[in-house]
């Protein structure tokens, strides 16, 4: 199996998992779920670190450092705000 096909296979399988895991979520949780999914795509931070490591010119380095800052805000802020939201749901089942 070529690399391209392997990556496409991963992509297709992930699409189905993504569809499946959220197919029956109540409206109550739409907001936290959106926020949580939002935090997960902050993992682009990993990509930003990789390109910063490979940077050869100042321009590349500056752009990748900006990407790191933005991605970190996305990831860290996203998980923290989702947790704050979900904290309010706790203890409501008495």
Partner 1 sequence: MSRDLYDLLDLLAAVAFILALKGLSSPRTARRGNLIGAGGALLATVIVFFYADTPDSLPLNNLGPILAAIAVGTLIGVPAARRVQMTQMPQLVALFNGVGGGAAALVAIVEYLKLGATASIAVLIATIFTVVVGSVSFSGSIVTFLKLQELMTTRPVIFPGGRFVIAATLASIVGVSIWVVVSGGTMPLLILGLLSLLFGVLFVLPVGGADVPIVISLLNAFTGLTVAASGYVLEATLLIVAGTLVGASGTILTRLMAAAMGRSIFGILFGAFTAKPIDAASDGVARPVKSGTAEDVAILLNYAQRVVFVPGFGLAVAQAQHTVRELADLLTAKGIDVAYGIHPVAGRMPGHMNVLLAEANVPYEQLAEMEEVNPTFAQTDVALVIGANDVVNPAAKTSPGAPIYGMPILEVASAANVIFLKRSMRPGFAGIENELLYDPKTTLLFGDAKASLTAVVSALKAL
Binding map of partner 1 across residues 39-68, x = CB under 8 A, - = no contact? xxxxxxxxxxxxxxxxxxx-xxx-xxxxxx
Q: Are 45 and 76 within 8 A, CB to CB?
A: no
Shortest distance (Å) from residue 54 CB to partner 1: 6
Contact call for residue 11 and partner 1 (CB under 8 A): yes
To partner 1, the closest distance from the beta carbon of 1 in angstroms equals 14
Tell the smallest beta-carbon distance from residue 9 to partner 1 (Å). 10
3-state secondary structure 55-89: CCCHHHHHHHHHHHHHHHHHHHHHHHHHHHHHHCC
* Residue count, binding to partner 1 (CB under 8 A): 81
Does the protein bind partner 1 through residue 28 (CB under 8 A)? yes
What's phi and psi for 22, nearest 5 deg? -110, 15
């Amino acid at each position: 199996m070529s690399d391209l096909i392997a990556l496409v296979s991963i992509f297709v399988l992930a699409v189905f998992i993504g569809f499946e895991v959220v197919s029956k979520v109540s409206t109550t949780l739409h907001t936290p779920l959106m926020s949580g999914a939002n935090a997960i795509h902050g993992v682009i931070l990993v990509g930003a670190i990789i390109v910063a490591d490979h940077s050869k010119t100042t321009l590349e380095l500056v752009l990748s450092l900006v990407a790191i800052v933005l991605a970190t805000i996305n990831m860290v802020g996203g998980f923290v705000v989702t947790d704050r939201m979900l904290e309010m749901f706790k203890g409501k089942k008495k």
